[in-house]
Amino acid sequence: MIHSAIIAIDGYSSSGKSTFARAIASELGYIYIDSGAMYRAVTLYCLENGILTADRLDHKKLTESLDKIDIEFSVDPETRKQFTLLNGINVEDKIRGIGVSEVVSKVSQVKEVRSKMVRLQRNISKKGGVVMEGRDIGTVVFPDAGMKIFMTAAADIRARRRYDELAQKGVKISYEEVLENIRMRDREDENRIESPLRKAEDALTLDNSNMTPDEQMRWFRRKWKSINRSYENQY
């Protein structure tokens, strides 16, 4: 069964998935689920509780701690921006830092972590009307999503976007460090054992290397209209 009210967006790190997904959800009145933020929150928990150190990830302690990790999303009533809650605490800024970015792949590839996150993601989306982005949404979490998009962009362009984002937040880091982090994330995402980054066979590719946010939304509207017209003709 095709879930027409679920839009799955996958793609490479810093390809603009979150911004794009938020814009789509806002336009359609759908719920936006940032799966990457969920894995980042688990990673932050591991860092703060000594489960993940510079030397190793304590797999046993991590799996035993999963039931203690609660992740939710909430919206600031003033700014209307969504933020991530880890055990009731707003950790949005913390999970976006380079410290988490450098090690999140170590946590996200753990089978037990991915299983729990998938259960949470599917539970949140039960009512439909959902836009979810990540790296295995169209292939694992929602293989029957009504629309699947795979986002990519040149590594240097993605690094520049990430560098500018961090600079605006006052994070001191070089462009070269960000570029290396992007390349490392790409390698780890593509080669991990559990749910590696792959484009679903029926996903639409969006290379936004030279596209503005407005151009991306115009692209989406055309594709969404076409998909819905095709869906209506089938039923």
pLDDT of residue 1: 42
Intervals of the chain under pLDDT 50? 1-2
What's this model's pTM, rounded to 2 decimal places? 0.77
pLDDT of residue 88: 95
Structure confidence by residue, pLDDT tens digits, 48-85: 999 999 889 999 999 999 999 999 888 788 887 888 99
pLDDT of residue 231: 64
pLDDT of residue 232: 63
| Fold that domain 3-229 belongs to in CATH | Rossmann fold (3.40.50)
The total of other beta-carbon atoms located within 10 Å of residue 77's CB is 6
pLDDT of residue 4: 65
